[in-house]
Structure 1
Amino acid sequence: MAFKTASTIVLHDYFEQIEGGGQLSRCLAEQLPADLAYGFACLPRPLLRGGKEWDLQQFSAIPLWRQFKLARAFAQQTAFLNEYDTVIYSGFYTPLAVHQRKKYGNVLYCHTPPRFIYDQKAFYQQRLPWLLRPLLNAFITYLQPRYESAVKQMQLVIANSQHVRARIQHYLGCDAAVIYPPCDMQQFRWLEQGNYYLSTARLDPLKRVDQLVRAFLELPDRQLVVASGGSELARLKKLAQGASHIHFTGWLSATQLADVVGRAMATLYVPYAEDFGMSPVESMSAGKPVIGVAEGGLLETVIHGETGLLLPPNFDLSQLQAAILALTPSRALTMRHACERRAQQFSTSRFIAEMRQQLSLLEK
């Protein structure tokens, strides 16, 4: 039975910059098609080329207060969801809106269970000033039971990788179908082979971009471009001070990002236990091999020796530098077509077809 899209809405936490979960939500809304709702948006609007948008206008720059406002808004200000036959929830806070629903047809697309509640709780606590740590604990006490209750009310749970599916099974006690996120193959294309290695990971401690900077500090004849922003930007710039071969661009537009990927020699992506990781797929779509890490979602995307090189999970600086030196321009070039073929497994058409197939199960 074909899935009917006449009365569907996609919810996403918020749109602050270009990132994987937001891109997926916009893709779903445009391709199904469906309406779109979100906590706030800092990107140019409308976010969709068609369809209705609901903005809950819950922006705050204050840590923890922002998260609480979003959770409360989705839990209390989403009665409009009862106008729809099918609701697709994307993010940490949108699932709380299921408590406003009096209808069947609730679908969670889970990028990961909130890591600040589960496997990375200690990490997030340590990042906060000690005065704020009790507030994080209070927020977790508020959110965790509501989130877990919301997941149990879903008729369908979809994970973005087998890695995240295992997290869902472990922490939430339920199973999930796996549908990999989509990559825009038309946007990320080979342009030329430049002379730089590229990192597009958000500048967050879990992404380990500091390890890349340290590696290149000892490789002055190799160029590194860091094309992203985040909480670690100032610290990493200070770390690379005086190194003319390491460049920081800050956040780029979608067009600028595709251009810098399409002209790179290779990319680097070494996060800790990544959920899925769209950056390596975008890299392969542009024919660029990836130096990654053999854990998390990268084990499901990058093929070691064919579309890149995978380091041990607890790699050291010498192993990272050896991989950089091993992925020469000529070797990177030989991987181009294998990368492009591999990326086809993560196309938008494949994603939408698999989502439609899963959503059709709700009608049976």
Structure 2
Amino acid sequence: MRMRIAVYHNLHSGGALRTLTEQVRRLSARHDLSLFALATAAPVETEGVKARVFPFHPGPELRRPFGRLNRAARAADLIRLARVNRAVARAIDGGGFDVVLVHPCQFSQAPSLLQHLRTPSVYYCHEPPRRLYEPPIPRPYLRRSSLRGVLDRVDPALRFHRALLRRIDRGATRAATRVLVNSRFTQANVRRIYGVAAHVCRHGVDADRFRPLGLRRDRFVLSVGALTPYKGFDLLIEGLGRLPEAARPPLRLICNYVEPQERAYLENLAQERGVSLEIEVGVSDENLIRAYNRAALVAYTPHREPLGLVPLEAMACETPVVGVDEGGVQETILHGRTGLRVPRDPHALAEAIGDLLEYPERARAMGQAGRRWVLDAWDWEGAVQGLVAHLEEAARTQNTERRTQNAERET
């Protein structure tokens, strides 16, 4: 069945945007698709797709001594954003679409748009917002003074902003006709936080782009992701620091986003542990693929990652992966076949990395098995077929409910 599909997002760059781009590209080949986005959204580079961009920009960040007013300013942003999303919902509802595919918003996670749509909606929840539902990852630079702690507890703007974020995120998620997630791990989190029965709809990997290039492997460890505490790069530095100095490989980080305090913390930690660290920002996909192909291995150490495209992209390039044995990583790395999963412990991580560096034939065999695993289980064709089935079911279910309600009113 050919459908008229509206797609909404307000994502920044990263794995979620790459997933959205592939979905849009492949859905538009078989269905009539229109894209709706805010001006703050990263562009989706897909030919032949109509795009309508709605103006929205958050207010400026205030500096000391007015920093505490930022929470009030961000709450005001959310209120303005809700008005914009109501306008987007009216435009979509007036467009005669069969269903809306909704991706997250960089400001509220679940977009408030979902609460205003009359058109059937499918929300692809990449993950619940951790800052609302999980404690922060400990960092020396996050230690608060006793005075700041007291102020945070009594600051009405801080409490209001956080409460507003939770209300929007929970209300919007529960308003969706159907919620999709990327892993069983995220599925369990969504049920726990929202009380919603989500459906697992896996990502795919473009194995035609992420592929072996026949390049010579260099003796460095690669990791990829936003430079934030959640990505756990400090564990990777600690692990490499426990390898003998003569056998210690350099570490290369490729990041789409950098938190300045986290960068300074990691650079200082690397210097203390004797780890050669290189951080690159804004790397093109082409150079990312070359980096996957040149690395001896990819190490992936995030905290409770919902899925993680990085291990899959690395394996598609025949690069073995060492990852922490938690979160969605348990669903992507086949331990002992396509890579190694280890506990969150620097000694265990060092041992696994050292093993693959010492035995390159084993690493090569794991890389080859990893590409076969991606081709068999993570191809985009199968992923989009599953997505289409969910879109059709959402449209069919809600339209059936409306016909039933109309019939009841008539009687």
TM-score above 0.5: yes
Task: State how 1:148-159 maps to structure 2 within 5 Å.
Answer: 148-159=170-181
Which residue identity is paired with 1:320? L
Which of 55, 58, 65 is the matching residue for 2:56?
A: 58
Partner of 2:251: 224
TM-score by length of 1: 0.88
Asked if the contact 1:196–1:223 (Cα under 8 Å) also holds between the matched residues in 2, the reply is yes
TM-score after normalising by structure 2: 0.78
The aligned counterpart of 1:97 is: 113
1:246–1:331 CA distance, 2 compared to 1 (3 A): farther
Q: Does residue 284 of structure 2 align to residue 253 of structure 1?
A: yes
Instruction: Identify the range of structure 1 (87-96 vs 327-336) with the bigger mean alpha-carbon deviation.
Output: 87-96
- Structure 2 counterpart of 1:167, which letter? N
Q: Which amino acid in structure 1 is aligned with residue 91 of structure 2?
A: F
Structure 2 residue 232 is the aligned partner of structure 1 residue 208: yes
**8 Å contact 1:180–1:351 — kept in the other structure?**
yes
Matched, 1:21 2:16: yes
Give CA-to-partner distance per residue, 1:21-69, whole Å, 9 cap, x none: 11112222221122222333475x5632121223234344637556863
Is the 2:10–2:41 contact (alpha carbons within 8 Å) kept by the matching residues of 1?
A: no
Q: Which residue of 2 aligns with 1:81?
A: 92
Q: Name the Cα RMSD after superposition.
A: 2.6
Quote the offset at 1:113 in angstroms: 1.8
Label 1:42 to 1:85 Cα distance change in 2 as closer, same or farther (>3 A): closer
Equivalent in the alignment of 1:264: 295
In structure 2, the partner of 1:165 is 187
Amino acid at match of 2:356: L
Secondary structure, aligned partner of 1:150? helix
Structure showing greater Rg: 2
1:217 CA displacement: 3.4
After TM superposition, give the deviation of residue 155 of structure 1 in Å: 1.5
Aligned mates of 2:386, 2:237 — CA distance in 1: 39
Q: 1:332, CA displacement in angstroms?
A: 0.8
1:158 Cα deviation from its structure 2 partner: 0.8
Deviation at 1:136, TM superposition (A): 4.1
* Alpha-carbon distance, 1:99 to partner: 2.7
Choose which of 373, 393, 399 in structure 2 pairs with 1:361: 393
Give the residue type in structure 2 aligned to 1:224: L
In the alignment, is the contact (CA less than 8 A) between 2:300 and 2:322 conserved in 1?
yes
Shift in Å at residue 198 of structure 1? 0.5
Within 5 Å, which residues of 2 pair with 1:290-301?
290-301=321-332
The more displaced of 172-181 and 232-241 is: 232-241
How far residue 286 of structure 1 moved from its aligned partner, in angstroms, is 0.6
Q: Which amino acid aligns with 1:35?
A: S
Aligned partner of residue 278 in structure 2, secondary structure: strand
Pick from 24, 27, 30 the counterpart of residue 25 of structure 2: 30
- Match in the other structure for 1:117: 132
| SS of corresponding position for 1:165 | helix
> Equivalent residue for 2:7?
10
5+ residue gaps, structure 1: none
1:306-325 mapped onto 2 (5 Å cutoff): 306-312=337-343, 315-325=344-354
Counterpart code for 1:272: H
Deviation at 1:284, TM superposition (A): 0.7
Q: Which residue identity lines up with residue 182 of structure 1 in the other structure? A: G
Counterpart of 1:174 in structure 2 is 196
Q: 2:74 and 2:98 mapped to 1: Cα distance?
A: 29
Give the stretch that moved more between structures: 188-197 or 337-346.
188-197
**Equivalent residue number for residue 304 of structure 2:** 273
What SS does structure 2 have at the residue aligned with 1:166?
helix
Aligned identity (percent) is: 26
Q: Is the 8 A contact 2:180 2:200 kept in 1?
A: yes
Aligned counterparts of 1:121 and 1:46: Cα–Cα separation in 2? 31
Give yes or no for contact 1:9–1:37 (8 Å, CA) kept in 2.
yes
CA contact (8 A) 1:209 1:270 kept: yes
Q: Matched residue of 1:337: which SS?
A: helix
Distance 1:237 1:11, change over 3 A: same
CA shift digits 1:252-272 (9 cap, x unpaired): 111111111122111000111
Which one has a larger percent helix, Structure 1 or Structure 2?
Answer: 2
Alignment check: 8 A CA contact 1:198 1:226 kept: yes
Q: What number of residue pairs does the alignment pair up?
A: 354
Counterpart code for 2:27:
L
Relative to 1, partners in 2 of residues 1:357 and 1:285: Cα closer, same or farther, differing over 3 Å? same
Q: Residue 19 of structure 2 aligns to which amino acid in structure 1? A: L
Measured after TM superposition, the shift of residue 95 of structure 1 is: 3.0
**Does structure 1 conserve the Cα–Cα contact (< 8 Å) formed by 2:15 and 2:309?**
yes
Give the match's secondary structure for 1:227. Answer: strand
Greater shift after overlay, 299-308 or 222-231? 222-231
Task: Work out whether 1:302 is the aligned partner of 2:344.
Answer: no
| Post-superposition CA distance 1:141-186 (Å, at most 9, x none) | 1122233222232211111110010011111111011011121212
Deviation at 1:241, TM superposition (A): 3.8
- 1:351: which partner in 2? 383
What does residue 47 of structure 2 align with? Answer: 49
Secondary structure (helix, strand or coil) at the match of 1:174 reads coil
Q: Which residue identity is paired with 1:188?
A: F
